[in-house]
Every structure is written in C-alpha cells, then in structure tokens.
Structure 1
Amino acid sequence: MKKYVVFYRVSTKKQGESGLGLEAQERDISIFLDTYSEQPYKVISKHTSVHSGSDIENCPYFQEALEACKNTGATLLVAKVDRLSRKVSVFSRIIEEVNIKVAMMPNADKFQLHIYAALAEQERDFISKRTKAALAEAKARGVKLGGVRPGHDKAIAARKEAASNRAEKLRPLVLELLKTNPSYSSLAKRLTELKANGKKWQTTQAKRLIERLELNL
C-alpha cells in the first residue's frame, strides 16, 4: 500500500484564517490521490503550517512531516513545489532526504522537480528585479510610493474586534470540546463536524481560536 504524509503551507496568517489558500491545496491533493496515486493508498498524517517558504527548514510542522516520512517510509505529498520551499538549494536537500510527490506535477520525478524548482527561482528573481526597476522609474517621475491609507489602522482594529467577538461566542463550545479532544487537530475536526461558524476548520484556525480565547492546551 502506498503511504503519504501530506504537508500544507500558507505564507500569512490571513491566508491561514481565511482557509482560501488551504482549500486550493486540499483540492489539488484530493485530485492527485483520486486520479494519479498508486492504489490502494493511505494518508499517514497531515501537517499544516503558516510559515514563510524561505525559512521552511525552521518550521516545526514541516519537521514533523519529515520525521513522519522517515519513520514510516511514506512519501511527502504537497500541492505545489513552492509549498516546500522557494529556494532551490533547500528543495534539493529535502528531495534527498525523503521521497516527494507534487500534486500539480503528478508524473514528475526528482530530477524534473529539481529543474522546475531552479527555473521557478530564476523567474522569481527576475520578477523581483523588474519590480524594483519599475518602482525606481516611478519614483524618478515624482510618483509617491507607499504610505498608509487613511483609516487603515481603524480597519485593522475593527477586524480584530470582530474576530474576538466570533471567538467569544464559541468559548462555551470550545471549553466543552477540549474536555474530550485536547488537541488542535481534534478541535478543528469537531468544530467542522458541528459546522461552527458554518465553515471547515483547519488545525491552524483552531490554534488561533485557542490563542484568541487565551486558553491553555
């Protein structure tokens, strides 16, 4: 039986809380497993992180995923190459440690994935230089760059207050669930089953909820 350890990553808390970035990755992983994977298969574990791709080696959730692969002989499955790392040097080290499959490149082997990662890094470097050049030209023409928009701080404060209010409404339910499900993943699963706030909960969202309520897990 083919075994997988699935790793999801988003770069910002906003992406993690909205679930948008994670939903796309979950969809791609599902398509891969249903269409391209060896059958039968088993997903050993899933790991979700809100972390920068440029510093993935220092991400504890990623290290957990690596260890799970090494301990079980499972293949590390990600939606896209850049969900592992945006640095080809780091990506190269990872593919030497464990077997990897990328959902959006289902038939690619290690060599092909390495080439793709290298090309993607070159493209990002060029885009960065192009953006800097465009900003420099705009500044030379007298265009005002950057700056905080009016009302920006108030908008942020309003969003935080709304999030806190939503969290408080869930406090009684969360306290009850933690009695029998004392983990972020279990809490996320039960909140999803109970359709709390009418959404599918991710582990990172459950963790953030606990932090907002200032509870200890």
Structure 2
Amino acid sequence: MKRYVTYKRVSTAEQGRSGLGLDAQERDIQIFLETYSDVPFEIVGEFTDVLSGKDDDRPELAKAIELAKRTGADLLVAKLDRLSRRVSFIAGLMEDPKLSMRVAQMPYADKFQLHIYAALAEQERDFISKRTKAALAEAKKRGTKLGGMRDATMKRNEAVAANADARAKKVAGIIVPLRDAGKTLRQIADELNTVGIKTARGGLWQASQVQRTLDRLERQDAATESL
C-alpha cells in the first residue's frame, strides 16, 4: 500500500484569514491523492507549521520528515515553496536517499526536476529584486521626483487597492468554499447575487469579477509569504 505523510505550511497572517492558505493546500493534496496516486493509499501522518517560508527551523516539518523516513512513506506537499523558499534547504532534502518526496501541483516531477524548479524560482526572485533596485537607482540618477501629483496618485491607488483587498476578504468565506466544492465562476456569481451581496459598485456579480476576487486573494497570500 502506498503511504504518505502530508505537510502544510502557512504564515501567521494566512492562518488569520480563516485558514484560506491551509484550505488551498488541502484541496491540492486531495486532488493529487484522488487523481495521481497509486491505490490503495494510506495517510500515516499530517503535519502543519505556522511560520514564514524564510524560516527553515520548523518543528512540524522535522517530525514529518522523520516519520516519512521511518515508515517509508512519501512526504507530500501541495507546492514546493511550502517546504522552503531557499534552494539550498530544498537541495538538502533532495539529497537524502532515505526521503521520497511528491509535490501535488507537479505530480510527475522527480527529485532532479524539483531541484531545477527550486533553483529557477530562487533566481527569478533574486532578479526581480535587483531589477527593482536598478530602476529606482536610475530614476534617482535622472533626478526623477516621486512627490507632488505622483504622491497623490500613488496614495489614491493604494486606497483603492486597500478597499478592494478588504472587500475580497469579506466575500472570501463564500467564494473560496464554493470554488473548493467545484462550483464554476458563473455558479459562484449566481450564489452571491442570490444572497444579495453586491459588487464594489453596487451591481450584480459576473464570472469575471469572481475570478478577479480569487486572483486578489491569491496575491494577498503570495504577498504575505514574501514577508
């Protein structure tokens, strides 16, 4: 029988948003088990850490790894970055001959492919950081001023974004469970309209607005993870 030890990780902020991060990870893990796993299978342990992705000292992950190695089970995570955002840490896990790993969102990837993916993701994050710093330095060199009307515009845009974020959180408790239950965007919009929840402009929901709200919630989770 195929055995798995599942591991999930969320930041403190994600956990505070009604466990949305955990729900999404659990959904992906279940999709993997139901669609890609050998059968029959058994979950021999489930572990969860509530810590930043930059913190590699995670007690529940250590327990999950120990149990997986002791029982011969595969360590199963929803996404590779749930293990760590540091390629060096992930590489250490990959090199352990006693540990087998599976990533739900990459069901056919082997250890070598996962290592490459982790390295590319780290390079991308590093490049984006350097690109941002270079753009700011170039603007400063040209004497570009960031005050005045631009400041006012930025503050206005920030206020609009903050309001949109707040509204997304308010409807997350309806939208996310319906999405996880397999409802279409159109069906979710109909449900919101049926219970009388209006859009930001006081109108009826459309499928495209549901998708934008889900995307905003995903960006909020990603932004929290980068802290």
TM tier, smaller: 0.5 to 0.7
3-state SS, counterpart of residue 43 of structure 1: strand
Counterpart selection for 2:144 from 141, 144, 147: 141
Aligned residue for 1:36? 36
Name the CA distance, whole Å, in 2 between partners of 1:15 and 1:79: 15
What's the offset of the Cα at 1:4? 0.5
3-state SS, counterpart of residue 106 of structure 1: coil
What's the offset of the Cα at 1:137? 4.8
Matched, 1:109 2:113: no
| TM-score, normalised relative to structure 1 | 0.62
Name the CA distance, whole Å, in 2 between partners of 1:136 and 1:23: 41
Q: How does 1:76-91 map to 2 (within 5 A)?
A: 76-91=75-90
Name the CA distance, whole Å, in 1 between partners of 2:94 and 2:52: 19
Name the CA distance, whole Å, in 1 between partners of 2:138 and 2:51: 33
Matched, 1:21 2:24: no
Name the CA distance, whole Å, in 2 between partners of 1:138 and 1:13: 36
Count of matched residue positions in the alignment of Structure 1 and Structure 2: 145
Name the CA distance, whole Å, in 1 between partners of 2:124 and 2:60: 28
Q: How does 1:158-173 map to 2 (within 5 A)?
A: none
Q: How does 1:113-192 map to 2 (within 5 A)?
A: 113-137=114-138, 141-143=144-146
Aligned residue for 1:2? 2
What's the offset of the Cα at 1:50? 1.6
Moved over 6 A (4+): none
3-state SS, counterpart of residue 47 of structure 2: strand
What's the offset of the Cα at 1:64? 1.0
What's the offset of the Cα at 1:8? 0.5
**For structure 2, which runs of at least 5 residues remain unmatched after alignment?**
148-154, 156-227
Matched, 1:62 2:65: no
Give me the identity figure in percent: 59
**For structure 1, which runs of at least 5 residues remain unmatched after alignment?**
150-217
Name the CA distance, whole Å, in 2 between partners of 1:134 and 1:62: 38
